[in-house]
Structures are given as C-alpha cells and as structure tokens.
Amino acid sequence: MVGKIKKKILITGIQGMLGQDLSQVFDLDYEVYGIDINPAGDGKSRFFSSDITDRKALELLFSQIKPAMVIHGAAFTNVDLAETEPEQARAVNVLGTENIAFLSNKYNAKLIFISTDYVFDGNKTTPYLETDIPNPISYYGRSKLEAEQCISKYLTEYIIVRTSWLFGINGKNFVKAIINKARNDGALKVVNDQIGSPTYTLNLAQGLFWLIKAVFETEPEMSKYGIYHLTNSGQCSWFEFAQAILEITQIKASLDPVDSNFIARAAKRPKFSVLDKSRFEKITGKKLCVWKQGLEQYLLQEKNQAV
Ligand SMILES: NC(=O)c1ccc[n+]([C@@H]2O[C@H](COP(=O)([O-])OP(=O)(O)OC[C@H]3O[C@@H](n4cnc5c(N)ncnc54)[C@H](OP(=O)(O)O)[C@@H]3O)[C@@H](O)[C@H]2O)c1
C-alpha cells in the first residue's frame, strides 16, 4: 500500500521551548522541517541552523524545502533584555519576521505567527478579544506587535496566534524557577497583582494543530484568517501559579504574595492579560484544558523524563 504523502511544514525556533513540542505534535501528520539559530543536538537531517535575520540564507532554505506551511515561533523572548537591547530584539522580532512573511508569500506557504498577550497594556478587567486595540507597555510587546503588522502587510492567508505565560519541558520557565528556588532557598516572594493564563506548550502545540486543520486544511475562506487568542483555560496570578506548583509537587517552602513594585524588573508587564479564546473554540470545536491540569501534565512529564 502506498503511504500518504505528508505536507511539508517549516517551524522556526524549532530548538526553543514551544518549537520542540510543535515538532513532536506535527510530526504525526506532516514532514517537519526546522530552523533555529542553535544547531540540532541529535543531527536531525531536516533541522537547519540558520538566522532568520539573514534573508539570503533563509531564501535558500525556502527554495529547497518549499514548505506548504510555516509556523514562525523564533523570537527574541527575553522581555527584560529587550528593554536594554532593543536593536537586537527588533532585528529578530521585526526584521526576522518580515523576512519570514516575505518568503512565505514568495514561496506560497501559509503562515502561522506566534505572538503574545504582551501586545496589550493590561488595563482591561475582562478577557481581551482579538478585536481589542493593542497598546504594548514593553519593548518586547511593541516589537511583537510590529511583527504582527509585517505579517498582514505581506500575506492574506495567515494566522496570528497570541498566547501567554508559556511553560514547557524544553526551556527555562517559571515552574522550573519556582521549584529550584523553593528547594534551594525554602522561601519565595511572588507577585500577586498580575493576572494571566499559564499555558503548557504541549497543550498549545496540540491547539495549533487543531487550528491549522480547521483553517488551512479546509475550503479557503477569508473569514477564517487573521488573529486568534489561544492559551490554557482559566486565569490566576503568578502567586497563585506558584502556590499550585508547590501544592502539586508537595515541596515545603514559605510563599508570600508581593506587589510588582517590590520586584525590580526592566520591562513593565500588563496587570491583566487574560485572552478570550472563543474564536478558536468556535472554529475548532475544541478547548484547551484548565492551566492547572496543564501544569499537572507538565510535572508528570518532567517526572517521567527524570526516571
Ligand atoms: N515564553 C512565553 O511565555 C511566551 C508567551 C507568549 C508568546 N510567546 C512567543 O512564543 C514563541 C515561542 O516562545 P518560547 O518561549 O518557546 O521561545 P524560546 O524558547 O526562546 O524559543 C525561540 C527559539 O528561537 C531561537 N532564535 C532566536 N533568535 C533567532 C534567530 N535570529 N534566528 C533563528 N532562531 C532564533 C531561539 O534561540 P536562543 O534561545 O539561542 O535565543 C530559540 O531556540 C515566541 O515567538 C514568543 O514570542 C512566548
């Protein structure tokens, strides 16, 4: 029997926290190609070390791979460092994205861009809709918003997915930081005045898979393209997130809530950045689980990997 020919999907930032989970999920149904500034550790033949700010090198890869779709996740993701190194953040987040959008258009690939809740100022008290006007309060947020604008400048058949507060097995994240600090210091102070939706990258990758099937693998329809919000369900403060981590792992440590003013950080964060997911839920008929369930799944995966 002849096997099904798989479509080619190119994932940028394939070595990152989300990228590695995307690779795992999409591998089931697509021929996965990857680009990252970091080389693939295990010599995967379809993963290329390339800088998205280098259009020439990128074009060579596009012309050889000819992907049907691109998921663009590569980014300068250090929110505080972006305040002091804005040129570097802009080069990757804006110019790099412009390169990806230009080449996706030129090589006829459908594009999915991963954006952020930090495009909003956090002044709302109810979940942000895709139609709410962005007003970033950090350089990182501004650069991701400018990147969103590059996408719509070059393409019509695109998806922009704004997500938030990611944690995954393959990257530095809040969960690991809390566990380490609790084990090493036994005492933590965590901000209680920023509300958002923690999101497990494996759940997000599954959601992106459903979204791509619903938008790009069905009859083309303009009304399906554009911006989607996608995170785990529910909301909490960073303090409540830390509380849940200690509760599930049963690590004993003292945990105190503090105001954000107490912790000096270069970049401002929105006080409230919960995203409304109804558009995603309507088009896919699916919903990501509650963040606490995502956290339990993540901690189980960590435990299994440690064995
Ligand atoms: N983390 C969050 O909480 C969060 C929240 C909302 C949205 N997002 C968005 O979600 C996406 C994935 O986030 P993540 O946390 O998984 O990020 P990540 O772990 O930092 O992964 C991004 C990957 O892109 C690579 N990269 C950086 N500059 C590059 C360049 N010039 N050319 C090629 N590759 C480059 C990074 O390499 P280096 O590690 O060497 O820089 C890294 O491997 C990003 O677009 C981010 O903006 C993240």
d(CA 288, CA 201): 11
With a Cβ cut-off of 6 Å, ligand 1 is lined by: 13, 15-19, 35-38, 51-53, 73-77, 92, 96, 114, 116, 144, 163-166, 171
Q: Which of 77, 85, 98, 174 to mutate to test the pocket of ligand 1 (most atoms within 8 A of CB)?
A: 77
Whether the predicted pLDDT of 305 surpasses 90: no
- Give me the active site residues, please: 140
Which residues, in sequence order, are CB contacts of 264 under 8 Å at separation 6+? Answer: none
**What letter represents residue 226's amino acid?**
G
* Long-range contact pairs involving 254-258 (C-beta distance under 8 Å, separation at least 24): 254/186, 254/187, 254/188, 255/182, 255/187, 255/188, 255/189, 255/190, 256/187, 256/188, 256/189, 256/190, 257/189, 257/190, 257/191, 257/192, 258/189, 258/190, 258/191, 258/192
Tell me: the pLDDT tens digits for 97-131? 999 999 999 999 999 999 999 999 999 999 999 99
CB 281 within 8 A of CB 211: no
Ligand 1 atom with minimal separation from the 73 CA: 45
Nearest CA owner, ligand 1 atom 29: 37
* Distance of CA 136 from the midpoint of ligand 1 (Å): 18
Tell me: the pLDDT tens digits for 6-19? 999 999 999 999 99
Q: Which residue has the tokens 């990128």?
A: 58
pTM: 0.97
pLDDT of residue 4: 78
* Distance of CA 77 from the midpoint of ligand 1 (Å): 5
Ligand 1 atom with minimal separation from the 96 CA: 31
pLDDT of residue 43: 65
Q: Which residue has the tokens 């964060």?
A: 269
d(CA 67, CA 210): 19
In the chain the domains, ranked by start, together with CATH numbers, are 7-306 (3.40.50.720)
* Distance of CA 114 from the midpoint of ligand 1 (Å): 9
Neighbours of 218 (CB within 10 A): 10
Tell me: the pLDDT tens digits for 28-51? 999 999 999 987 766 668 999 999
d(CA 306, CA 76): 29
Q: How many CA atoms lie within 13 A of 207 on its CB side?
A: 28
Tell me: the pLDDT tens digits for 222-249? 999 999 999 999 999 999 999 999 999 9
CB 166 within 8 A of CB 204: yes
* Long-range contact pairs involving 53-59 (C-beta distance under 8 Å, separation at least 24): 53/91, 53/92, 53/95, 53/96, 53/99, 54/99, 55/99, 55/102, 55/103, 58/99, 58/100, 58/103, 59/103, 59/106
* Distance of CA 199 from the midpoint of ligand 1 (Å): 15
